[in-house]
Amino acid sequence: MGKYNESISDESVWVTATPAQNIRALPFCVMEAGHFYAKPDYEVSRREHDSYLFMYTVKGCGRIVSDGERVELGEGCAAVIDCHKNHKYFTSGGEWEFVWIHMNGESVPAFFDMLYPNGIFSVKIYDKQPIILKSESIIKKAEGNGMMNALNTSSEIHDLFCILFKNGYENEREKNNGLHSMYVESAVETIHKRFCEPIAIDDITENVPLSKYHFIRVFKRIMGTTPYNYLTNCRINNAKIYLRTTNLTVGEISSLCGFQDASNFIVQFKKHTSQKPLQYRRDFAGV
C-alpha cells in the first residue's frame, strides 16, 4: 500500500501498461511511465511496489529515500529505485520536472545490482540529449501493443541502463580525479600477471593507497564484481583453454591456474560454469 499526493500540472504525461506474461519474461518491460511537471508539494511514499523505477530530472530537483539511502536528484541526474523496498520521493524546493519509468523483466534485478553494488546514488548525466530522447521514446511505446513493440522497448531500456553505467563510471573518475580507476586498472593488471600464483587480496592491493575494504567497494563499483571473484574468473578462463587444448590432468591444470588444489578447482569451476572440468572438456571434444 502507498500514500500518494500526485500534485502535478495538466501538461504532465502518465501512461500505464499491463504486459502479458510472455512480455514480462523479456529482459525488460514497462509497467507504467510518464513525464511529470511536479508542484512543490508533490510526494509519493510507498511500503513496496512490484517494479523498479528509473527517474531522470529534466529541471528542478527531487529527493529520494530508498532502503535507508537518501539521494538528491538534481537537474541532469538519474537514479533507479528498487520499489520492492520501502521508498519515498518528493520535490526538493520548487517545481520538479522529471521523466520516470516503472519497469520489470528478467534482467532488471541483475542490472540494478550491477549499477548499485553498494547502495543507490544519483548518476550525473554528461550528455543529456540521448537519455531524454531514449526516455521519451520508451514512454511513447508504453501503451503500444504487439511483440515487436515490446522487443524494441526492452532494447531501449537496456540502452538506458548502458547510459547509466557509462556515466556512473565517468562520475567515479571525476570524483577521484581518475585515481580510483587507476588503482583498479593496476589491480586488474596484477591479477592477469599473477593469477597462477597463490595470491590473496592483500597481494593485489599492496600498492593501492586505500583501505582493503574501501578498495573492494571501488573495485566492485567499477568492475561489477569483487577482486576475489575477478581473480577466480581469470583462473577459470585460463583453465578452460587448457581443458580444450591439452591433455593435462585436472590436478596439473589446477596447479597451473593458481588454485589451492584439484578439489578446490573442481568446486570453483562447477560453481561458475555449472559443469565439472572433465564434463567441460568432453563437451568440447565431442565425446
The answer on 202 and 170 residing in a single domain is no
> Tell me, what's the pLDDT at 181?
79
121 shares its domain with 196: no
State pLDDT tens for residues 225-256: 899 999 999 999 999 999 999 999 999 999 99
Q: Are residues 168 and 184 in the same domain?
A: no
* pLDDT at residue 177, rounded to an integer: 60
Cell numbers placing 163? 547510459
Q: Indicate which CATH number applies to the domain containing 92.
A: 2.60.120.280
Q: How far apart are CA 253 and CA 76, in angstroms?
A: 51
38/73 same-domain check? yes
Amino acid (one-letter) located at 129 = Q
The pair phi, psi for residue 236, each rounded to 5°, is -65, -40
Segment 116-131 shows an average pLDDT of: 91
Identify the domain boundary among 175, 193, 225.
175
Give the pLDDT score at 105. 95
Indicate the burial class of 107 (C-beta count within 10 angstroms; 0-12, 13-18, 19 or more).
middle
Q: Do 253 and 165 fall within a single domain?
A: no
pLDDT band at 207 (very low <50, low <70, confident <90, very high): confident
Q: Which residue has the higher pLDDT, 218 or 88?
A: 88
pLDDT, one tens digit per residue, over 66-110 is 988 899 999 999 999 999 999 999 999 889 999 999 999 999 999
Structure confidence at residue 172 as a pLDDT band (50, 70, 90)? confident
Interatomic CA distance for residues 68 and 86, integer angstroms: 9
Classify the phi-psi angles of 178: left when phi > 0, otherwise alpha if psi is within -120 to 50, otherwise beta: left
**pLDDT reported for residue 213:** 83
| DSSP symbol at 8 | B
Same-domain pairing of 170 and 184: no
What pLDDT shows up at residue 2?
A: 39
Residue 271 structural domain: 180-285
Number of structural domains the chain divides into: 2
pLDDT recorded at residue 171: 82
Crossing angle (nearest 10°) for helices 227-245 and 179-194 = 30
**pTM of the predicted model, to two decimals?**
0.76
Provide the residue count of the chain. 287
Q: Are residues 7 and 91 in the same domain?
A: yes
Q: What is the mean pLDDT of residues 124-129?
A: 94
Last residue of a domain, one of 120, 143, 175: 175
